[in-house]
Amino acid sequence: MSLVELISQADERGLAASGLACLDRCVPLLGGDDETLRPLWGSLAEGADGSAWGTSLEQVRGKLAGPDDTGEDEAAQLARRMLAAAPAEPAAPGVRVWADACSVASLQIHRLLDPAADAGPVDAHREGRTEGMSPLVTAELRRQVTVLELLAEHGAAGLRPALEVSTEGRRVLRAVVSRRARGRG
């Protein structure tokens, strides 16, 4: 099943986790660490207080607040927009739009940061046409599909393995960002 199909079939928790996972993998671009988004993950757990997401989201925005994005590269700007667009509630009507936008932005970020050329458009990759994909984009697409499958299959119990998938991706992106910084220095 394509990523687009998985997003269209996901429930609210799956959509919120999908968008959050995309943001989580890109948080190194905003100066965040491994614990920055942990409260948001916790707010998606079964039985969590519905207001916890909104409170945690505002705290995260405060921690990751930076100057306006005019001095940031395109990848960091995309990550900052993902965070800014996050809905105030994980069950908000706009969560599907946010999850979809996060998917596109995250793939675009990985494309921008991958030294290998990526021949196809991001939308085509999301629809299942994977020819010409660069390694970093291929791995990000696989992580996005895995997160959605875990939540569809396991519900709230899929949150922990989804977080583990996201953590792996965050570490990969952090290494890429670090390598790029050394190359510029």
Task: Dump pLDDT digits (tens) for 24-69.
Answer: 999 999 999 999 999 999 999 876 766 889 999 999 999 998 755 5
Give the Cα separation of 133 and 150 in Å (integer).
24
Residue type, 112: L
% pLDDT > 90, the chain? 70
pLDDT, average across residues 64-78: 78
The pLDDT mean for the chain works out to: 90
Question: pLDDT tens, 165-182?
Answer: 999 999 999 999 888 888
Is the dihedral angle over the CA atoms 122, 126, 128, 130 positive or is it negative? positive
Of 62-76, 89-103, 120-134, the range with the lowest mean pLDDT is 62-76
